[in-house]
A and B are shown apart, each in its own frame.
Chain A
Amino acid sequence: MLLYIATITLLLGAVLALVVRGNSLRAWLAIASQAVASAAVLWAVVPVLLGAAPLTAVVPWPAPLGDVRLQIEALDAFFLCFSLPMTLLGSIYALGYLQPYMKGKRHVGAHFGLLNLTALSFLIIYTVENSFAFLLGWELAALAAWLLVIWDHENQKIRFAGFNYLVSTHISFLLLVAAFVIGGDQMHSTDLREIGGFLRQNSFLRDVTFVVLMTSFGLKSAFFPFHTWLPRAHSAAPAHVSALMSGVIHKAGIFGMLKFTALIDAPPAWMGWYVIGFSTLSAVMGVLYTASQRDIKRMLGYSSTENVGIAGLGIGLGYLGLTWHQPALVVIGFTGAILHVLNHALFKCLLFYAAGAVYRVAHTVDLERLGGLRRAMPQTTLFFLIGSLAIAALPPLNGFVSEFVIYSGLLGAAAPSPESRAVLIAVAALLAFVGAVSALAVTRVFGVAFLGVPRDPKCVAHGEAHPAMRLTMAVHVLGVLAVAAFPLAALGLAQAPVADLMRAQGLAPDAELLAGPARSYAPVAWACAGLLLTLTAVALLRRSLTRRHAVHRTWGCGYTAATARMQYTGASFASQFGNVFEGLLVFLRRLKLPRGPFPERGHISTHCVDGVENRMFQVLGTATDTVTRLAGRLPEDTPVSFAAGFVTLVVMVAFLLAGGAL
């Protein structure tokens, strides 16, 4: 009942945002409707998350949908619980971010209405059990996100980024349709539960469907190498849209993986290794790209690829646990993945909001032009610092909690053979590398943009960001700190969803098993408390030693005419690291060096472009050239014509035979 109220309120809010007069009224109406909807949804689903029975309902609907079954289990409840309130926070942030347009002629109601529709799409995706309705929700989220991305559609680059995203998300959509069609065709049903029955059968077609599903969710969540749309979309979109896309909307991919995990019965070992392989690749490649971006939002986009990789590692561990009949590993893997999703939503949104605040105040997010933001915006600086430390998984903040759980799964003794244990340990070593590089990346961004002195007089910040933006960031910081302060309670939040996933697999988890991750984290929590205590003690000691101090210029190593332009830049900070991994990263350098006795003005600019996108277009270009050349030779060159005809014949015969076999 409450969910219907939420749905109607959201729709009503969207419509009202379009029709009433005055931009602020439109915005506030949308926000109010989202607040009501969020409250209603939380009221309804929090008990489910805490272990109450699932909510179910059936909405009768004419063909072709058929009756739409709604069911909210603990996993759905978990995703609903953070998705809707975070969308609401994003909308509040938009009040500040879109401030320059609020008084202008532009109609911002459409934008807020789309935010409402995004919230509605979560309500559909996380509740329905009908494949058609699920696809509708999926498509609604994709279209709303696309329209939100192209807010500044007058800029050609942003339109390009938008279309890039639209194409990618629809490939994901089509793959999902394909998987549902295969499953639905086999089981003659549109109900996801029934389609799940197909995923339980051990057949070749089931395996193909699994790969198709994983590719679709991988595209949605921007796993490497399906991430090419992401850095463009995230740097083009308004900050709150980037935040919601990265932290909330694309978590639907992870949700899909987890939901369909529950449907697959005793997955074979290759599925677990497949997911772990892809996730490791995503984490490593994603983090390598974060180290050398000059656009803060692009860097944060790549960091999403890294973080879904880390969450994916947890899911892969869960699969392997199912394969090896190790319930403890199943609990560790899924708990780590689920908590990491929440953690990522918290700190990634926070960082995107802070980047947006920087953009509004300093008019750029280009690292090479920023600097010394701390002086003008102390609060945003503090928020960004906390987000940075959290995203680099440094203790005692929240990122470390979920990563430690995943480490304990990777390093644990659950694997049946020493070889597989060694492989998992090697993955843990790669995760350690990911953590260290991520620390490098955030140090670079925070250090270059917020510390030091301004590099470009055109990009100097005067004053803090809009209060609505700061409020949103503060709420996210509170979330980050809450998980850090109560890690065991946060791990407890994942218990009910994990228990559901396990029960769907025919396992009967008891409370002791489910509390495994919390038990293994408890001493770490004490160590973190010890760290905080030591920090406080050292800080007090240091303060008593340095009561009096003098102020002078930075020591220039004997050079006294240093200027702001001589500070270490983001590019120079990353250059040595980039040199080590130059085989994997693609740098685009445009330079004109000054020459001769009377040099003209020179310039150099370095961009780290996406290697996959670069090569994808190269390969496409080469392929077109080859086809054109071959096609041109077809009429005149007899052997080529014969070869082409022969290939066509073989393909046709193969199709006929395959049709007969089925």
Chain B
Amino acid sequence: MTGQTAALAAVHLLALLVLPIVMLGLVNRVKSIWAGRRGPRVLQPLADMRRLLRKQPVYSEVTTEVFRLGPTVALATGLVAGAVTPLLGPQSPLGFAYDFVVFAYVLALGRVFLMLAALDTGSAFEGMGAAREATYGAVIEPALFLLLGGLMLASGHADFAGLMAWTDFGAFGVGLRVLGFVVLMILLQIEAARIPVDDPMTHLELTMIHEVMILDHSGPDLAILQYAAGLKLTVCAALIAGLLNPVSWAAQPWLAGAVALAIILAVAVLVGTIESLIARLRMRAIPGYAGVAVIAGALALALAALRLGGSP
């Protein structure tokens, strides 16, 4: 058993390191196909990052060490959040009771340093991006807790592994999963800065959130931040995969892992499709959009409580 656990942990870490690049590449590829182009290779982001890593960074004369810390903390927190999250099936190297609290707060730490790095440049544009990131991040925060609380009630477990291993696919289970999908998809769009919340391909600074915060980062720092963004996308997609995975982990671990991987990649395809078909929301509408996630989370919690109260 320990051998299998170690093997799974190794696979988890490997997937965690590789998937961000594949995810970013896949999203771009899907967008190209929708636009009628062949598009770049799926591994193109890797080539881009390698190019950036060789470059010499340029720092603004205003910046301090806080600016240098930004990419470091963003990447490290993304990795730790990824180590806590079940990636391929309901198992993660770092799992314990209430691990999702740590997950949320570690991601928040990364966000804070990204915003501080943006404010460190003294640029009005970057300050604007930081303010947006802070606002949307705050509004979405309760949604995840409400949803996971509902799953906790339904499954009787209090850690990611237990929540993700919940295999009730009756009407109640499907209903809860639909709500959960809504919450996690909106969370993904906000955390990983995707359309309709944020457009990573936009060319006008005034309409950006994530991209405008990293305007002054260059060379290896930019590569690290791009990778960290892919990491967040992967982690959020992994949560969706854990929620939707129909294969029992206990019975067939490797099949469950393969299905989880397929769902994660399908999320990337979905993200690319949404970005091709839908326009970005107006900034003013985004808090309302995050509110949808909060309401869906609250509904999930209420549904779980009613279900448990109704049938003891």
The chain A residues found within 8 Å of chain B, CB to CB, are 371-372, 374-375, 385, 389, 392-395, 400, 404, 407-408, 411-413, 417-419, 421-422, 425-426, 428-430, 432-433, 435-437, 439-440, 442-444, 446-448, 451-453, 520, 523-524, 526-527, 530-531, 534-535, 537-539, 542, 545-546, 548-557, 562, 564, 566-568, 572-577, 579-580
Q: Say how far B303's CB is from chain A's closest CB, in angstroms.
A: 10
Contacts of B215 in A (CB 8 A): 555, 557
Do the beta carbons of A419 and B122 come within 8 Å of each other?
no
Q: Would you list the 4 A-B pairs with minimal beta carbon distance, nearest first?
A: A568-B127, A447-B119, A425-B149, A523-B96
Q: Which of B58, B125, B284 contacts A550 (CB 8 A)?
A: B58
Q: Which of B101, B111, B116, B150 contacts A447 (CB 8 A)?
A: B116
Q: Say how far A481's CB is from chain B's closest CB, in angstroms.
A: 16
Q: Which of B94, B126, B297 contacts A530 (CB 8 A)?
A: B94
Query: What's the Cα separation between A535 and B110 when bound, in Å?
Result: 11
**Is B132 part of the contact surface with A, judged by Cβ < 8 Å?**
yes
**Is B43 part of the contact surface with A, judged by Cβ < 8 Å?**
no
Query: What's the Cα separation between A539 and B145 when bound, in Å?
Result: 31
Which residue of chain B has its CB nearest to the CB of A544? B220
A385, A393, A553, A554, most chain B CB atoms within 10 A: A554
Q: Say how far B45's CB is from chain A's closest CB, in angstroms.
A: 17
Q: Say how far A547's CB is from chain B's closest CB, in angstroms.
A: 9
Do the beta carbons of A539 and B72 come within 8 Å of each other?
yes
Do the beta carbons of B145 and A447 come within 8 Å of each other?
no
**What are 27 of the A-B contact pairs (CB < 8 Å)?**
A374-B64, A375-B64, A389-B112, A394-B105, A394-B112, A395-B106, A422-B301, A422-B304, A428-B145, A430-B142, A432-B144, A432-B145, A440-B135, A443-B116, A447-B120, A520-B97, A527-B84, A531-B106, A538-B224, A542-B71, A548-B56, A554-B60, A554-B121, A567-B122, A572-B127, A575-B131, A577-B138
Query: What's the Cα separation between A542 and B219 when bound, in Å?
Result: 11
Q: Which of A425, A440, A550, A554 contacts B146 (CB 8 A)?
A: A425
**Would A535 and B73 be within 8 Å (CB), given that A429-B146, A452-B121 are in contact?**
yes
**Would A443 and B115 be within 8 Å (CB), given that A527-B84, A567-B122 are in contact?**
yes
B58, B84, B145, most chain A CB atoms within 10 A: B145
Do the beta carbons of A426 and B298 come within 8 Å of each other?
yes
Which stretch of B75-83, B234-242, B245-253 is in the interface?
A: B75-83
**Is B98 part of the contact surface with A, judged by Cβ < 8 Å?**
yes
**Is B17 part of the contact surface with A, judged by Cβ < 8 Å?**
no
B66, B131, B153, B302, most chain A CB atoms within 10 A: B131
Query: What's the Cα separation between A574 and B127 when bound, in Å?
Result: 11
**Would A553 and B220 be within 8 Å (CB), given that A425-B301, A451-B119 are in contact?**
no
Which residue of chain B has its CB nearest to the CB of A580? B287
Do the beta carbons of A546 and B305 come within 8 Å of each other?
no
A contact face: mostly helix, strand, loop, or mixed: helix
Q: Which of A527, A562, A564 contacts B102 (CB 8 A)?
A: A527
Contacts of B153 in A (CB 8 A): 418, 421-422, 425
Do the beta carbons of B122 and A531 come within 8 Å of each other?
no
Q: Which of B59, B84, B134 contacts A549 (CB 8 A)?
A: B59
Contacts of A551 in B (CB 8 A): 58-61
Q: Which of A400, A527, A552 contacts B59 (CB 8 A)?
A: A552
Contacts of A418 in B (CB 8 A): 153, 304-306, 308-309
Do the beta carbons of A439 and B112 come within 8 Å of each other?
yes
Contacts of A435 in B (CB 8 A): 105, 108, 141
Q: Say how far A528's CB is from chain B's closest CB, in angstroms.
A: 8
B contact face: mostly helix, strand, loop, or mixed: helix
Query: What's the Cα separation between A491 and B80 when bound, in Å?
Result: 24
The interface on chain B, measured as residues whose beta carbon lies within 8 A of the other chain's beta carbons, has a size of 89
**Is B8 part of the contact surface with A, judged by Cβ < 8 Å?**
no
**Is B130 part of the contact surface with A, judged by Cβ < 8 Å?**
yes
Contact with A along B172-202 (1 / 0, CB 8 A): 0000000000000000000000000000000
Query: What's the Cα separation between A94 and B152 when bound, in Å?
Result: 50
Query: What's the Cα separation between A530 and B102 when bound, in Å?
Result: 12
Contacts of B297 in A (CB 8 A): 429
Which residue of chain B has its CB nearest to the CB of A453? B122
Contacts of A446 in B (CB 8 A): 116
**Is B109 part of the contact surface with A, judged by Cβ < 8 Å?**
yes
Contacts of A554 in B (CB 8 A): 60-63, 121-123, 216
Which residue of chain B has its CB nearest to the CB of A438? B138
**Is B6 part of the contact surface with A, judged by Cβ < 8 Å?**
no
Contacts of A442 in B (CB 8 A): 112
**Is B279 part of the contact surface with A, judged by Cβ < 8 Å?**
no
Do the beta carbons of B80 and A550 come within 8 Å of each other?
no
Q: Say how far B206's CB is from chain A's closest CB, in angstroms.
A: 9
Query: What's the Cα separation between A260 and B17 when bound, in Å?
Result: 54
**Would A451 and B57 be within 8 Å (CB), given that A433-B141, A530-B83, A572-B128 are in contact?**
no
Residues 24-73 (chain B) with a chain A CB within 8 angstroms? 53, 56-64, 66, 68-69, 71-73
Which residue of chain A has its CB nearest to the CB of B137? A436
**Is B258 part of the contact surface with A, judged by Cβ < 8 Å?**
no
Q: Say how far B69's CB is from chain A's closest CB, in angstroms.
A: 8
Query: What's the Cα separation between A523 and B125 when bound, in Å?
Result: 40
Contacts of A524 in B (CB 8 A): 96, 102
Query: What's the Cα separation between A375 and B142 when bound, in Å?
Result: 37
Query: What's the Cα separation between A548 and B76 when bound, in Å?
Result: 22
Contacts of A552 in B (CB 8 A): 58-61
Which residue of chain B has its CB nearest to the CB of A418? B308
**Would A419 and B309 be within 8 Å (CB), given that A425-B153, A443-B115, A549-B59 are in contact?**
yes
Do the beta carbons of B109 and A394 come within 8 Å of each other?
yes
**Would A432 and B305 be within 8 Å (CB), given that A443-B116, A567-B122 are in contact?**
no
Do the beta carbons of B127 and A573 come within 8 Å of each other?
yes
Q: A447-B116, A452-B121, A530-B80 are in contact. List 16 more A-B contacts (CB 8 A).
A: A394-B109, A418-B304, A422-B304, A440-B138, A442-B112, A443-B130, A443-B134, A451-B122, A539-B72, A551-B60, A552-B60, A554-B60, A554-B121, A568-B130, A577-B134, A579-B284
**Is B104 part of the contact surface with A, judged by Cβ < 8 Å?**
yes
B75, B76, B126, B205, most chain A CB atoms within 10 A: B76
Query: What's the Cα separation between A359 and B134 when bound, in Å?
Result: 27
Q: Say how far A515's CB is from chain B's closest CB, in angstroms.
A: 15
Contacts of B283 in A (CB 8 A): 576
**Is B275 part of the contact surface with A, judged by Cβ < 8 Å?**
no
Contacts of B97 in A (CB 8 A): 408, 520, 523
Do the beta carbons of A538 and B122 come within 8 Å of each other?
no
Contacts of B105 in A (CB 8 A): 393-395, 400, 435
Do the beta carbons of B72 and A422 come within 8 Å of each other?
no
Contacts of A526 in B (CB 8 A): 94
Q: Say how far A35's CB is from chain B's closest CB, in angstroms.
A: 36
Contacts of A538 in B (CB 8 A): 72, 75-76, 79, 224
Do the beta carbons of A426 and B112 come within 8 Å of each other?
no
Contacts of A575 in B (CB 8 A): 131
Which residue of chain A has its CB nearest to the CB of B79? A534
Contacts of A577 in B (CB 8 A): 131, 134-135, 138
Query: What's the Cα separation between A413 and B162 when bound, in Å?
Result: 14
Contacts of A421 in B (CB 8 A): 153, 305
**Is B9 part of the contact surface with A, judged by Cβ < 8 Å?**
no
Q: Say how far A28's CB is from chain B's closest CB, in angstroms.
A: 37
Do the beta carbons of B149 and A429 come within 8 Å of each other?
yes
Do the beta carbons of B142 and A527 come within 8 Å of each other?
no
Contacts of A548 in B (CB 8 A): 56
Contacts of B130 in A (CB 8 A): 443, 447, 568, 573
Do the beta carbons of A555 and B60 come within 8 Å of each other?
yes
Residues 254-312 (chain B) with a chain A CB within 8 angstroms? 283-284, 287, 297-298, 301-302, 304-306, 308-309
Q: Say how far A548's CB is from chain B's closest CB, in angstroms.
A: 5
Contacts of B66 in A (CB 8 A): 374, 385, 451
Query: What's the Cα separation between A418 and B301 when bound, in Å?
Result: 10
Do the beta carbons of B122 and A535 come within 8 Å of each other?
no
Which residue of chain B has its CB nearest to the CB of A408? B98
Q: Say how far A553's CB is from chain B's closest CB, in angstroms.
A: 6
Contacts of B205 in A (CB 8 A): 557
Query: What's the Cα separation between A418 and B59 when bound, in Å?
Result: 54
